[in-house]
Structure 1
Amino acid sequence: MGLEIPLWRALAVFRVASLAYAVLLMGRNFRTYPHPMIGWTVLAVMTAWTVAAIALYAWPAHRRWPLLLADFAVTAGCLLASVWVIGQDPLAHGSDTVPMAWIAAPVLAWGLALGRTRAAVAALAMGVVDAATRGAANTVVLNDVVLLLMSGMIFGHAARLAAVSEANLQRVAELEAANRERERIARGIHDSVLQVLTLVHRRGMELGGDAAELGRLAGEQEAALRSLVATDFTTVEGEADLRVLVNAYAGDAVSVAAPATPVVLPGGVAREVAAAVSSALDNVRAHAGPAARAFVLVEDEPDQVTVTVRDDGDGMAAGRLDEAAADGRLGVARSIRGRVRDVGGTVTLTSTPGDGTEVEIRIPRPRRKS
Structure 2
Amino acid sequence: MISEAPDATGAAPAPAERPAPSGAAADTADDARMGFSAPLWRAIAVFRAASVGYAVFLMAQHLDLLARPWAAWSVLAAMAAWTAASTALYARPHRRTRALLAADLAVAFGCLAATVLVVEPGYLRMAPPLTTTWFGGAVLAAAVVAGRRLALGAALAHGVVDIAVRTALGLTISAAVPRGVVLLLLAGYCVGYLANYAAAAERRFAEAVELEARTRERERLGRSIHDSVLQVLAMVQRRGAEAGGEAAELGRLAGEQEVKLRALIGVRHGAGAAPAAAPAAAPGPTGARGRAAESTAWEAASLTADLTDLLERHSGARVTVSAPATAVALAPHAAHEIDAAVREALGNVERHCPPQTGAWLLVEDEGERVTVTVRDDGPGIAPRRLDEAAAEGRMGVAQSIRGRIADLGGTVEITTAGGQGTEIEMRVPR
TM-score (structure 1 length as normaliser): 0.55
CA distance in 1, matches of 2:392, 2:260: 7
Question: What is aligned with 2:81?
Answer: 48
* Structure 2, gaps ≥5 residues long: 1-29, 273-388, 394-430
Q: Matches of residues 330-369 of structure 1 in structure 2 within 5 Å?
A: none
Question: What is aligned with 2:144?
Answer: 112
Name whichever of 156-165 and 105-114 sits farther off.
Answer: 156-165
Aligned residues: 240
Tell me, yes or no, if the aligned pair for 2:66 and 2:123 is still in contact at 8 Å.
no
What do the CA deviations read for 1:287-344 (whole angstroms, capped 9, x no partner)? xxxxxxxxxxxxxxxxxxxxxxxxxxxxxxxxxxxxxxxxxxxxxxxxxxxxxxxxxx
CA distance in 1, matches of 2:271, 2:221: 20
**Are 2:94 and 1:58 aligned?**
no
- The 1:40–1:220 alpha-carbon spacing in structure 2 relative to 1, beyond 3 Å, is same
Query: Aligned partner of 1:158: which letter?
Result: L
**Are 2:118 and 1:82 aligned?**
no
Question: What is aligned with 1:28?
Answer: 61
Question: What is aligned with 2:159?
Answer: 127
What do the CA deviations read for 1:126-159 (whole angstroms, capped 9, x no partner)? 2211221222654222111111122222232333
* 1:70 CA drift (Å): 2.1
Question: What is aligned with 1:12?
Answer: 45
* 1:187 CA drift (Å): 2.9
* 1:36 CA drift (Å): 3.6
* 1:101 CA drift (Å): 0.3
Question: Structure 2 residue aligned with 1:186, among 222, 243, 267?
Answer: 222
Tell me, yes or no, if the aligned pair for 1:14 and 1:105 is still in contact at 8 Å.
yes
Question: What is aligned with 2:231?
Answer: 195
Higher relative contact order (CA 8 A, sep 6+): 2
**Are 2:202 and 1:174 aligned?**
no
Query: Aligned partner of 1:140: which letter?
Result: A
Quote the sequence identity (%): 49
CA distance in 1, matches of 2:264, 2:62: 75
Question: What is aligned with 2:329?
Answer: none
* 1:248 CA drift (Å): 9.3
* 1:102 CA drift (Å): 0.3
Tell me, yes or no, if the aligned pair for 2:58 and 2:127 is still in contact at 8 Å.
no
**Are 2:131 and 1:99 aligned?**
yes
Q: Matches of residues 217-256 of structure 1 in structure 2 within 5 Å?
A: 222=258, 225-226=261-262, 228-230=264-266, 233-234=269-270
Tell me, yes or no, if the aligned pair for 1:19 and 1:46 is still in contact at 8 Å.
yes
* Structure 1, gaps ≥5 residues long: 237-246, 252-370
What do the CA deviations read for 1:189-246 (whole angstroms, capped 9, x no partner)? 112221023224434555679977876775565455445434562399xxxxxxxxxx
Tell me, yes or no, if the aligned pair for 2:148 and 2:193 is still in contact at 8 Å.
yes
* 1:173 CA drift (Å): 3.9
Query: Aligned partner of 2:176: which letter?
Result: V
CA distance in 2, matches of 1:217, 1:143: 81
Q: Secondary structure at the match of 1:198?
A: helix
* 1:100 CA drift (Å): 0.6
What do the CA deviations read for 1:60-104 (whole angstroms, capped 9, x no partner)? 34333433222212211221222344334553x573222110011
Name whichever of 54-63 and 98-107 sits farther off.
Answer: 54-63
Tell me, yes or no, if the aligned pair for 1:8 and 1:112 is still in contact at 8 Å.
no
TM-score (structure 2 length as normaliser): 0.48
Tell me, yes or no, if the aligned pair for 2:62 and 2:123 is still in contact at 8 Å.
no
Q: Secondary structure at the match of 2:42?
A: helix
Query: Aligned partner of 2:113: which letter?
Result: L
Q: Secondary structure at the match of 1:96?
A: coil
Q: Matches of residues 291-370 of structure 1 in structure 2 within 5 Å?
A: none
